[in-house]
Amino acid sequence: SPFSTEALSLLDSTGYEYTKIELGLEWFTLGPRGSQIRKVLGSMVDNGATSLPKIFIGGTPLGGAGGYSALAEAIEEGRLEGMLKA
């Protein structure tokens, strides 16, 4: 998704190491396994949203449904480094 691509660009710009787990190019091409993983990821956020990307720091989801916007906000506000060190 465009938001996933933008999130990866933001992560690359930070210089921090991260693990990228790609489920598929588009939601409709995920197949059974990718769809199951997406459903599990949705269960890990407060609102249950299955939208992508999902960004986790230390096993905690960043920003509920809006992984990209929450990441951008954390970087813009200077909070990302503190979150990574916690």
What pLDDT, on a 0 to 100 scale, did the predictor assign at position 62?
Answer: 87
- The Cα-based distances of 76 to 5, 69, 72, 73, 79 in angstroms read 18, 10, 6, 5, 8
What pLDDT, on a 0 to 100 scale, did the predictor assign at position 66?
Answer: 64
57 pairs with which residues across the strands? 60
What pLDDT, on a 0 to 100 scale, did the predictor assign at position 27?
Answer: 64
Q: How far apart are CA 28 and CA 7, in angstroms?
A: 20
Q: Residue 42 carries which side chain, given as an amino acid letter?
A: G
What pLDDT, on a 0 to 100 scale, did the predictor assign at position 64?
Answer: 55
Spell out the per-residue pLDDT of the chain, length 86, in tens.
788 899 999 999 999 999 998 887 666 677 888 888 888 988 988 888 888 889 999 888 887 556 889 999 999 999 999 999 87
Q: How far apart are CA 21 and CA 24, in angstroms?
A: 9
